[in-house]
Structure 1
Amino acid sequence: MGYRVAVVGATGNVGREMLNILAERQFPADEVVALASRKSLGTEVSYGDKTLKTKDLDTFDFTGWDIALFAIGSDATKTYAPKAAKAGCVVIDNSSLYRYDPEIPLIVPEVNPDAIEMVKNKNIIANPNCSTAQMVVALKPLHDRATIKRVVVSTYQSVSGAGKEGIDELWDQTKSIYNPTSEVAPSKFTKQIAFNVIPHIDVFMEDGSTKEEWKMVAETKKIVDPKIKVTATCVRVPVFVGHSESINIETVDHLDEEEAREILRESPGIMVVDKREDGGYTTPIECVGDFATFISRIRQDSTIDNGLNFWCVSDNLRKGAALNAVQIAELLGNRVLKKG
């Protein structure tokens, strides 16, 4: 006996990817329904070799459904997630709405699977921010071995993190540069994104950081260890899919780069590609469509006693969103729901 699964926001980038991954990983679903807003009613989406027609989220009854994967943004989630949870359907939410609620688990299955037991509090589980998800997969095994004190991270985040509008703006601006008769002014982003980088993701906060940077700090503390100090600079780059991160860690105990490399090679969800030669590292374009978080450029930081640098790349629509949500659903099935 399998699960009845609803994908909420099935016509968006992340929703479509959720459906793809449910099929690819052969999630034990007896029934899958695609839900969207009324304006997308009847839109066809793919689920493995099947085609689903979207149904109206506003009138949908979640009673009798086991799991709902939400990919609709905080405002809509605030309306519909409590309805689903109250009906007995466990919500796995990709928005930021519930991430900082102390009664709601924020989960990356490779990092803090035991937090799944907290689902009994409100029937809701939060999926972390895309930039946080891939980073903590790499941090956790190193933290377990040497205790990380401080993390300094700079991100290079693709436009797909800003949704379809972000992808379209990069594409249209790139074309316009080669066609001087047309000009595409910034709309989704604050400055031109084509052939440029923008050190600004989400809104600015009082201390000068952006909310994206604050998310990485708060979420790393909640998922891995509240004692870890994190400072982040988040940058939007003209890449369609795939987030990259330059990560520096300082540890309590000394950790040799060779041992760090071996630890990461043996850790779940990680693929180490680290050769000190031309092309001996992974770039965003190479990680697209893959489940893994790729680690390269592992090396000692000679400026401090116990420091390491490394490069971290992952498909943000997968590990940063849809894949992690499906992995949470798998964890939920194995540990809590236990059907079949």
Structure 2
Amino acid sequence: MGESEKISVGIIGASGYGGVQLVRLLQEHPKAEVVYLGGKDSAGKPYAELYPHLGHQVNLTIEPIDTDAIAARCEVVFLGLPNGLACDLAPQLIEKGCKVLDLSADYRFKDLQTYTSWYHTERKDGETAAKAVYGLPELYREEIKSASLIGCPGCYPTASLMALSPLLKQGLIVPETAIIDAKSGTSGGGRQGKINLLLAEAEGSFGAYGVAKHRHTPEIEQVCSDLAGHEVRVQFTPHLLPMVRGILATVYATLRDPGLVRDDILTIYSAFYRSSPFVKILPNGVYPQTKWAAGTNLCYIGIETDPRTDRVIVLSAIDNLIKGQAGQAIQCLNLMMGWEETLGLPQLCFYP
């Protein structure tokens, strides 16, 4: 690829919040050009009809999903579809020579039985799924570089695993004591009309959902088990916050060595993430806020220890639509193409 050439990119499922984030970020990416937007219900509509604020920049019409046409025009395809649809399209696109980044849950699991039991969809694409790499660059950077299919992580697992990974990898905690208490803004529920996401329902309120049965639980456990070297189960409880963007995950766990203090763990985290440009370890006594990460691909991490309970408390803040979805997918694309990992991705929030 020459200096001035750009790779051609397609986005299937461009009408949702993940899709529009991809469109926005790729518009400003120096080495990628969006040439195809695909959808089912929205096919035939100008993209500017769905998102008028992009009309001066994006002059594309949403097209029907045709894998032959997509593969003929696109080197890379992002799939921003509901769970259970990417597994029909990805094998065809891979076979036709495209690199595929899937934002749904379809390619996040090594064991498709786990996927089927939680997402209630039978799978026939085991051969394709076996080639997929979990798209969390901070943990699987080298595997992503040589992959042609990426299963991009969920937003809650991203925030949770950023907080938990060093503790499990270094054997610092008793794994079964890990508890993840996480909160997300309403954009995590997508753009479809849902009663619990209406302003009149969500504003001024705060509550948990999916208690003891949220679908992101097995995804978190899969990576935790990989890091720990044995099966790990975690307690994960998500909550809905009355705001649009952001996730704050608070992780509690019992330390194996009660003598470890906050400075020790800060040193371990700084070393663990030393090659991760989007992870910002905060200094002593500073704890992250979602607003700091809004609109960026950053993950802010704060750490505390409690000598009274022998627990470590790790707090992680991300933008659920960027580092938790579209931005992380582009971070993976950068690695797959051999580009600078940070290319085209925002690192400064709008504040306040």
Same fold (TM over 0.5): yes
Q: 1:287 matched to which residue of 2?
A: 293
Cα distance in 2, alignment partners of residues 330 and 141 from structure 1: 24
Cα distance in 2, alignment partners of residues 328 and 300 from structure 1: 33
Instruction: Return the offset for 1:40.
Output: 4.3
Residues 247/48 of structure 1: CA separation in 2 closer, same or farther (3 Å cut)? farther
Instruction: Return the offset for 1:229.
Output: 4.1
The structure whose residues are more often strand, as a share, is: 1
Residues 257/221 of structure 1: CA separation in 2 closer, same or farther (3 Å cut)? same
Give the counterpart of 1:317 among 310, 315, 321.
321
Give the counterpart of 2:40 among 37, 41, 46.
37
The answer on whether the counterparts of 2:144 and 2:335 sit within 8 Å (CA) in structure 1 is yes
Q: 1:127 matched to which residue of 2?
A: 152
Residue identity in the other structure for 2:71:
T
Q: 2:57 matched to which residue of 1?
A: 50
The answer on whether the counterparts of 1:38 and 1:58 sit within 8 Å (CA) in structure 2 is no
Q: 2:70 matched to which residue of 1?
A: 62
Residues 237/292 of structure 1: CA separation in 2 closer, same or farther (3 Å cut)? same
Instruction: Verify: 1:159 aligned to 2:165, yes or no.
Output: no
RMSD: 3.0
Instruction: Return the offset for 1:236.
Output: 2.0
| Range moving further from structure 2, 214-223 or 146-155 | 214-223
* 1:129-144 matches, cutoff 5 A: 129-144=154-169
The answer on whether the counterparts of 2:47 and 2:58 sit within 8 Å (CA) in structure 1 is no
Give the counterpart of 1:80 among 86, 89, 109.
89
Residue identity in the other structure for 1:234:
P
Q: 2:235 matched to which residue of 1?
A: 231
Q: Secondary structure at the match of 1:10?
A: coil
Instruction: Verify: 1:91 aligned to 2:97, yes or no.
Output: no
The answer on whether the counterparts of 1:20 and 1:48 sit within 8 Å (CA) in structure 2 is no
Q: 2:266 matched to which residue of 1?
A: 261
Cα distance in 1, alignment partners of residues 327 and 228 from structure 2: 19
Residues 211/324 of structure 1: CA separation in 2 closer, same or farther (3 Å cut)? same
Q: 1:113 matched to which residue of 2?
A: 141
Residues 141/320 of structure 1: CA separation in 2 closer, same or farther (3 Å cut)? same
The one-character-per-residue Cα deviations of 1:3-23 (angstroms, maximum 9, x if unpaired) are 221122222111111122234
Residue identity in the other structure for 2:265:
A
Unmatched tracts of structure 2, length 5 or more: 112-129, 340-352
The one-character-per-residue Cα deviations of 1:44-63 (angstroms, maximum 9, x if unpaired) are 36889731313324235232
Instruction: Verify: 1:198 aligned to 2:203, yes or no.
Output: no
| Range moving further from structure 2, 266-275 or 319-328 | 266-275
Q: TM-score, normalised by structure 2?
A: 0.75
Percent identical across equivalent pairs? Answer: 19
Give the counterpart of 1:299 among 298, 301, 304.
304
User: Alignment length, in residue pairs?
Assistant: 303
Cα distance in 2, alignment partners of residues 12 and 31 from structure 1: 16
Residue identity in the other structure for 2:94:
A
The answer on whether the counterparts of 1:27 and 1:330 sit within 8 Å (CA) in structure 2 is no
Instruction: Return the offset for 1:252.
Output: 4.4
Q: 1:185 matched to which residue of 2?
A: none
The answer on whether the counterparts of 1:105 and 1:118 sit within 8 Å (CA) in structure 2 is no
Instruction: Verify: 1:9 aligned to 2:13, yes or no.
Output: yes
The answer on whether the counterparts of 1:23 and 1:48 sit within 8 Å (CA) in structure 2 is no
Instruction: Return the offset for 1:293.
Output: 0.7
After the TM superposition, which parts of structure 1 deviate over 6 Å for at least 4 consecutive aligned residues? Answer: 46-49
Q: 2:124 matched to which residue of 1?
A: none
Q: 1:244 matched to which residue of 2?
A: 248
Q: 2:23 matched to which residue of 1?
A: 19
Residue identity in the other structure for 2:149:
I
Residue identity in the other structure for 2:90:
A
Q: TM-score, normalised by structure 1?
A: 0.77
Unmatched tracts of structure 1, length 5 or more: 174-191, 336-340
